[in-house]
Chain A
Amino acid sequence: MSDGPAAQSPWQTVTIRRIEKRTPRVTSFFFKLSRPFAHQAGQHVDVRLTAPDGYQARRSYSIASGPEAGEMIELAIERLDDGEVSPFFHDIAAVGDEVELRGPLGGHFVWYDGDGGPLLLVGGGSGVVPLMAMIRHRAARRSAVPVALVFSARVWDEVIFRDELIGLNDRRDGFDLVLTLTREAARRPADYSRRVDAAMIEQSMVRLPAPPRFAFVCGSNAFVSAAAQALIDAGVPAGLIRTERYGV
Chain B
Amino acid sequence: MVTRGFSSGRKPPTDADARIPPGQYLEQGFPVLSAGPTPRVRTEEWSFTLKHGPRPVKKWSWTEFNALPLTKMTRDIHCVTAWTKFDTAWQGVLVDDILADAGIEPLSPFTLALSFDGYTTNVPTKDLTAGKAMVALLYEGKPITPDHGGPARLLVPHLYFWKSAKWLNGLQFTERDEPGFWELRGYHIYGDPWREQRYTGDP
Contacts and interface: CB of A to CB of B under 8 A. Distances in A.
Interface of A: 2-4, 6-9, 13, 48-53, 55-60, 84, 88, 92-93, 97-100, 105-109, 221, 225, 228-229, 231-232, 238-239, 241-243, 245, 247-248
A245 B39 contact: no
Given A55-B10, A221-B147, A248-B27, A99 B3 contact: yes
Leading 3 A-B pairs by shortest Cβ distance: A55-B8, A107-B185, A51-B8
Contacts of A13: 1
B8 A57 contact: yes
Q: Main SS of the interface on chain B?
A: loop
A243 B31 contact: no
B70 interface: no
A4 B197 CA distance: 11
A50 B23 CA distance: 11
A245 B25 contact: no
B27 to A, nearest CB: 7
- What range describes how many residues of B lie at the interface? 35 or more
B41 interface: no
B89 interface: no
A241 B38 CA distance: 10
Contacts of A231: 37
B200 interface: yes
A229 B36 CA distance: 11
A23 B37 CA distance: 29
Given A51-B7, A51-B10, A6 B201 contact: yes
A241 B27 CA distance: 28
B26 to A, nearest CB: 11
B100 interface: no
